[in-house]
A and B are shown apart, each in its own frame.
Chain A
Amino acid sequence: MALLQIAEPGESTAPHEHRLAVGIDLGTTNSLVATVRSGMAVVLNDELGRSLLPSVVHYEAGGHVEVGYEAQAGQAVDPKNTVVSVKRFMGRGLKDIAHIEAMPYDFVEGEGQVRLRTAQGVKSPVEVSADILKALRQRAEAALGGQITGAVITVPAYFDDAQRQATKDAARLAGLNVLRLLNEPTAAAIAYGLDNAAEGIYAVYDLGGGTFDISILKLTKGVFQVLATGGDSALGGDDFDHRIFCWMIEEAKLAPVSPHDGRLLLTRAREAKEYLTSHSAAPITVKLGSGEYVDLKLTTEIFNDITRTLVQKTLQPTRKALRDAGLAPGEVKGVVMVGGATRMPQIQHAVAAYFGQEPLNNLDPDKVVALGAATQANLLAGNRVAGDDWLLLDVIPLSLGMETMGGLTEKVIPRNSTIPIARAQEFTTFKDGQTAMALHVVQGERELVSDCRSLARFELRGIPPMVAGAARIRVTFQVDADGLLSVTAREQTSGHEAKIEVKPSYGLTDDEIAAMLKDSYSHASDDAFRRALREAQVEAQRLIEAVQSALREDAQLLSTLERAHVDTCLAKLQAVMMGDDRRAIDVAMYALSKGTAEFAARRMNASVQKALSGKKLEELGQ
């Protein structure tokens, strides 16, 4: 943390060591990890040279956890304990999940979020995802030879707050410091845009295994501006498999199938789907558990027929996103195709017909998201290099609002608003003498609260008694650059305030995460301890130098009293930093950071003001 070192934007900062940062594409079907090495984004392979990690986790009865290809192999043998496509369950309750009946799991309805009973106990989707992330972290640390300081993890643009929070929890559980959750199509656009020096309006059409996203972006000289985004967080290649699965059951007149047979049929369905991408018919042969054989032939014609509505379902959000961006299909310069499911010819045709142009397929649809994420991670970790000076302006995918009388929603921030954003709205009391007000924050486009997703509830108390409608309660929504929402309510006449950081009520608590982490870290070695101590000492030295240099430059921004406090904190850190009490160093560092926060903020503000007036002068000179 190079506190207080302010450089002009675009100028690189004092040389600092390269921080290991990765981008992770946590996919429904496949996951990948990438990093920036000598200025180039590269995917990190496993020891066998494979880049994809199938998003499959097998909880063996013996306590062993397998992730990836090994787990995939066990899929047909032990379907109940082998979790595939767990992303579809993230932040979701049982009632939200489609095709439950075709899944071999033993579901447990958990608090808000569904859970699975496995041979290793009940697992939440967050824990299963964390096992995938852990495997990727280990792969990256082995390849890079060091500890990762931060990760950018991609999520479907259309993920709501609960799904995002669940992803963040999974990352924390895997011991990853999340620099940002990045929208998948945006990540793809970054990789594509930087690679091709693209300028103009682009659409990213991303159909993966489980999710569909469409994003419309404007690319101009180093700025990636998302204009609109839309999608369906439960539509992907899996649904095409399921259509084939249903067709097979009907054609072969199969009675209810066992979990084993179900998994087998789904696997065959997927193989047939992929085969049809380059063939006009796919033979399907399945030997059921009973010994009975199913023999079928799926032609392109039938496949197109049974999946036509799915293809159409992707065009609906596409139209909506374009309308939100205020654009017609013809104004789009290029359509970037992302996700394995865009390989299907009927998708290629539908997209080409809608946009009136051949889509762009000149990049690897499997890797592009991870590569974009790695680029962003590198930037956010502070490894900025000259010429690598770009900015991303993203939007929120879903409207944010409040519940009002009669169970209706009042939108406060509309979907597709550029973040960071703050909006305030006034509400009032509806009963005489009312002294408290319940506030309910919701996300979604629908008019009825019951059709939207509930994000948080809180209460503003201490409103002075007045007649109905006289109180003025100002509710402010603030969404930061990470897309995280905080809501503040304030009664205007009395100044009473209530504030909440929105977190879905069933996200893991910090305590739960801490307990889970402790389990996995209980055997840190002496070596690791010494390394951590050494790192803390280096950080402390860096912090001290930064503060001293800031004091030399801008001491006038502090009052005598403030200055004295900073000096005390400095002296304390200097006193403990060479000792071997890691905790004491951390505490003193925290105190110094906190003691200089206000100073840092003032310097930053002055620096921005200066940068802006500098711009004005330049322009006058032109």
Chain B
Amino acid sequence: MTSFDLSFAGKDHFALFGVPRAFAVDGTELERLYREVQARVHPDKHAHLGDAERRVAMQWATQVNEAYQTLRDPLRRARYLLQLAGHDPAIETNTAMPAEFLMAQMELREAVAAARAAADAAHLDDLHGRLRQEMAAQHEALRLTIDERHDYARAAEIVRQLMFQEKLMSDIDAALEAAEA
């Protein structure tokens, strides 16, 4: 089976939807464009065609889903922008983080562990909200560093911190699930 060059005219995820290559993204507009593009390429829209055509449509639909999932998520979008800029965030090797950030995270982590042990769903919900706010602030910082300052080294630092925070967020979610069970 042949694979086609599915990157639209050799372009990237942003070009696929025709939106500017930037961290700031209009989520509602992106979603609208996603639906519109998917409605053109999806194999179900070509149900009357043969296997070969539908397979190509399937590859396109897969690509469109991947592009949308990458662009709608701030962390994935930032990583993708770094990659496009030729900047490796060195996630595996560079684990250094400011002491201040680590202290704050440690504290939050302990609070989560305690709430989990007590199966305290309300407290977990609070922590969830708190972390969400912190992450929103990080997203704003990413917009500044990438779109306005073009400071990719600093952006990579924020990306590494965000990955740390996302991990904690999924721990809170898992604890919430367990507390509700």
Contacts and interface: CB of A to CB of B under 8 A. Distances in A.
A380 B46 CA distance: 9
B51 A597 contact: yes
Given A2-B49, A615-B36, A481 B56 contact: no
Interface residues of B, number: 41
A609 interface: yes
A4 interface: yes
A421 B65 contact: yes
B48 A421 contact: no
B2 to A, nearest CB: 6
Given A320-B177, A597-B52, A600-B52, A220 B44 contact: no
B38 A612 contact: no
A417 B61 CA distance: 13
B43 A481 contact: yes
A65 interface: no
B164 interface: no
A13 B48 contact: yes
Interface of A: 1-7, 9-10, 13, 16, 220-223, 225, 316, 319-320, 323, 379-382, 384, 391-393, 417-422, 478, 480-481, 593, 596-598, 600-605, 608-609, 611-613, 615-616, 619
A9 B40 CA distance: 6
A615 B40 contact: yes
Is the contact region of chain A dominated by helix, strand, or loop, or is it mixed?
A: mixed
A225 B45 CA distance: 15
B35 A600 contact: no
Contacts of B6: 605
B98 interface: no
A593 B51 CA distance: 9
A418 B50 contact: no
Interface of B: 2, 4, 6, 8-9, 16, 18, 35-53, 55-58, 60-62, 65-66, 69, 173, 176-177, 180-181
Nearest to A392: B44
Given A10-B45, A391-B44, 13 more contacts: A2-B48, A223-B35, A323-B173, A380-B44, A380-B47, A381-B47, A392-B44, A419-B65, A480-B58, A593-B51, A596-B52, A612-B37, A615-B37
Contacts of B36: 615
Given A5-B48, A422-B62, A481 B42 contact: yes
B50 A2 contact: yes
Contacts of B57: 604, 608
A533 B37 CA distance: 41
A422 B47 contact: no
A221 B36 CA distance: 10
B58 A481 contact: yes
Nearest to A611: B40
The 5 closest A-B pairs by CB, nearest first: A382-B48, A3-B50, A597-B52, A600-B52, A604-B53
Contacts of B43: 420, 481
Contacts of B180: 316, 319
24 contacts: A2-B48, A3-B49, A6-B49, A7-B48, A13-B48, A316-B180, A319-B180, A323-B176, A391-B38, A391-B39, A391-B45, A392-B44, A393-B42, A418-B65, A419-B65, A597-B50, A598-B52, A600-B52, A603-B53, A604-B52, A604-B53, A611-B40, A612-B16, A612-B40
